[in-house]
């Protein structure tokens, strides 16, 4: 049975993540929001520290790289496992309490690392150890429907040849490699879609431009083009077997969606805490011992937001815990991502409203958090796509039956 308290073995690590967020990420938050394409050099030292914790055995999954399901992470009988998925979401919550964009800019913690951790072979895990990997899925004509990918990969001798264009690649300009989703045969639909690790120095791969964005401005977002880009066949993640279908590729989302939910939970918590302090300074105190209808409107609104946040937090823990215990979590991952993404949007905007001019100005970080939170309801599957996935799971419908 899941225990909703932070596991004892993770507490020191989670506290370290919070300390990093408070002393390094949040103090630099405004700086890199204003200087969008400037590389946050402070993160190099942080990445080295995370690597050191991992090498010493005191780290427990510092972010997107710590999400692989393995036999050692699986529960046997009545045994309950608190593993890398849970430690990852707990640490990401703390880091995004500091800054979402800077967390997404951390070397070797990209969403592509999560893809590698999810489906790579043991040999690939060793070969790509230490590589900072972005993930390239979205295309100009393919957004939420990832099964409609047009980027092609055809086998030519010992190489796959990739052609196509990817947009909105998080950390695409700074990373060492990109995990690219491409189809082996367009006529076969989603079953032919596979993922490939493409190193950044590969001929035929070009970073076309970096986007200017509403939020997470500390993180670079790139457009990347592939023109007869030759990738060694051993860089295909998983298997080229068409019969395995789309499931192996989609397993990545079951691991990354709880991570994005954790980002939203951390960002929303930051807004709630600051708003409570600002309301208290204005003479509005939230009283947990009084009925909501007996409190000021601002306090009643705050209590409703806290309840919404708690639901998102618990769903996120559930999705991660199920992954650690080798339980199918596709439904729970989508529920957590949908709830947390929308909740973060609602809370951060409402906090701006409650705090008036302080929330709207750059005197506080509330307006920035409201901008940062919007992407958390969009990437890794939009709100609408998550609701569609949840409906299919609950109703027992296929993607062809319920669109």
In this structure, are residues 352 and 359 in contact, taking their beta carbons and an 8 Å threshold? yes
- The whole-angstrom separation of Cα 198 and Cα 235 is 7
Regarding the domain delimited by 247-395, which CATH topology (the fold level of the hierarchy) does it fall under?
A: Butyryl-CoA Dehydrogenase, subunit A; domain 3 (1.20.140)
Confidence class for position 242, pLDDT limits 50, 70, 90: low
* Summary mean pLDDT of the chain: 90
Supply the pLDDT for residue 78: 63
Q: What's this model's pTM, rounded to 2 decimal places?
A: 0.92
- The whole-angstrom separation of Cα 314 and Cα 309 is 9
Query: pLDDT over 70 for what percent of the chain?
Result: 90
In this structure, are residues 47 and 105 in contact, taking their beta carbons and an 8 Å threshold? no
Per-residue pLDDT reduced to its tens digit, 189-206: 888 999 999 999 999 999
Confidence class for position 245, pLDDT limits 50, 70, 90: low
Supply the pLDDT for residue 239: 74
Confidence class for position 61, pLDDT limits 50, 70, 90: very low
Supply the pLDDT for residue 292: 94
Range with lowest mean pLDDT among 77-81, 158-162, 245-249, 392-396: 245-249
More confident residue, 62 or 123: 123
Per-residue pLDDT reduced to its tens digit, 20-57: 999 999 999 999 999 999 999 999 888 877 766 555 45
Supply the pLDDT for residue 55: 56
Cα distances from 295 to residues 253, 288, 307, in angstroms, run 42, 10, 16
Q: Dig out the tokens for 194 from the structure.
A: 């596979």
Supply the pLDDT for residue 395: 96
Supply the pLDDT for residue 143: 81
Supply the pLDDT for residue 238: 79
Going by C-beta distance under 8 Å and a sequence separation of 6 or more, which residues neighbour residue 62?
17, 50, 53, 54, 88, 91, 109
Range with lowest mean pLDDT among 118-132, 184-198, 240-254: 240-254
- The whole-angstrom separation of Cα 98 and Cα 92 is 10
Supply the pLDDT for residue 248: 59
Supply the pLDDT for residue 282: 96
**Known catalytic residue: 380?**
yes
Is the pLDDT score of 118 beyond 90?
no
User: Average pLDDT for residues 236-265, to the nearest whole number?
Assistant: 80
Instruction: Give the residue among 276, 240, 264, 397 at the shortest CA–CA distance from 338.
Output: 264
* Domain boundaries of the chain, sorted by first residue: 8-126, 132-244, 247-395
- The whole-angstrom separation of Cα 178 and Cα 173 is 10
User: Average pLDDT for residues 58-65, to the nearest whole number?
Assistant: 44
In this structure, are residues 87 and 58 in contact, taking their beta carbons and an 8 Å threshold? no
Per-residue pLDDT reduced to its tens digit, 341-361: 999 999 999 999 999 999 999
Per-residue pLDDT reduced to its tens digit, 307-339: 999 999 999 999 999 999 989 999 999 999 999
- The whole-angstrom separation of Cα 135 and Cα 114 is 9
Confidence class for position 66, pLDDT limits 50, 70, 90: very low
Strand partners, 195: 181
Strand partners, 181: 195
Regarding the domain delimited by 132-244, which CATH topology (the fold level of the hierarchy) does it fall under?
A: Butyryl-CoA Dehydrogenase, subunit A; domain 2 (2.40.110)
Cα distances from 222 to residues 60, 106, 207, 219, 270, in angstroms, run 30, 16, 7, 10, 28
Instruction: Give the residue among 275, 283, 237 at the shortest CA–CA distance from 355.
Output: 275
Query: pLDDT over 90 for what percent of the chain?
Result: 72
More confident residue, 285 or 248: 285
User: Average pLDDT for residues 88-92, to the nearest whole number?
Assistant: 93
In this structure, are residues 136 and 170 in contact, taking their beta carbons and an 8 Å threshold? no
Which DSSP helix (H) or strand (E) runs through 319?
Answer: helix 297-324
Q: Dig out the tokens for 203 from the structure.
A: 């001929």
More confident residue, 238 or 293: 293
Task: Give the CATH number of domain 8-126.
Answer: 1.10.540.10
Supply the pLDDT for residue 369: 98
Is the pLDDT score of 71 beyond 70?
no
Range with lowest mean pLDDT among 139-143, 233-237, 366-370: 139-143
Supply the pLDDT for residue 172: 96
Going by C-beta distance under 8 Å and a sequence separation of 6 or more, which residues neighbour residue 395?
402
Catalytic residue chosen out of the listed positions 139, 364, 367, 380 = 380
């Amino acid at each position: 049975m899941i225990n909703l308290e932070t596991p004892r073995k993770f507490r020191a690590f989670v506290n370290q993540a919070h300390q990093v967020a408070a002393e390094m990420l949040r103090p630099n938050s405004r700086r890199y929001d204003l200087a969008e394409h400037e590389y946050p050099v402070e993160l190099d030292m942080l990445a080295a520290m995370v690597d050191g914790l991992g090498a010493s055995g005191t780290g427990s999954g510092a972010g997107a790289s710590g999400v692989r399901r393995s036999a050692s992470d699986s529960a046997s009988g009545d045994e309950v496992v608190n593993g890398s998925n849970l430690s990852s979401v707990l640490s990401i919550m703390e880091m995004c309490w500091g800054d979402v964009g800077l967390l997404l800019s951390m070397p070797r913690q990209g969403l592509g690392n999560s893809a590698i951790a999810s489906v790579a072979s043991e040999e690939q895990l060793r070969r790509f150890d230490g590589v900072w990997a972005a993930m390239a899925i979205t295309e100009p004509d393919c957004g939420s429907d990832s099964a409609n990918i047009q980027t092609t990969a055809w086998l030519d001798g010992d190489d796959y040849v990739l052609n196509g264009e990817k947009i909105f690649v998080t950390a695409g300009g700074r990373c060492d490699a990109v995990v690219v989703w491409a189809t082996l045969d367009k006529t076969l639909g989603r079953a032919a879609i596979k993922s490939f690790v493409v190193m950044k120095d590969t001929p035929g791969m070009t970073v076309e431009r970096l986007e200017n964005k509403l939020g997470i401005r500390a993180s670079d977002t790139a457009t990347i083009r592939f023109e007869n880009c030759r990738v060694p066949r051993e860089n295909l993640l998983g298997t080229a077997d068409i019969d395995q279908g789309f499931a192996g590729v989609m397993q990545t989302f079951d691991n990354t969606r709880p991570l994005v939910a954790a980002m939203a939970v951390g960002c929303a918590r930051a807004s709630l805490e600051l708003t409570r302090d600002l309301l208290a300074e204005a003479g509005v105190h939230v009283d947990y011992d009084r009925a909501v209808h007996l409190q000021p409107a601002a306090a009643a609104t705050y209590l409703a937001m806290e309840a919404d946040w708690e639901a998102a937090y618990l769903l996120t823990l559930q999705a991660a815990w199920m992954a650690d215990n080798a339980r199918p979590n596709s439904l729970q991952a989508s529920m957590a991502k949908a709830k947390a993404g929308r909740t973060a949007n609602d809370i951060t905007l409402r906090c701006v409203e409650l705090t008036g001019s302080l929330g709207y100005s750059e005197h506080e970080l509330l307006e920035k958090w409201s901008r940062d939170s919007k992407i958390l309801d969009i990437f890794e599957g939009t709100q609408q796509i998550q609701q569609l996935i949840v409906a299919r799971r609950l109703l027992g419908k296929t993607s062809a039956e319920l669109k």
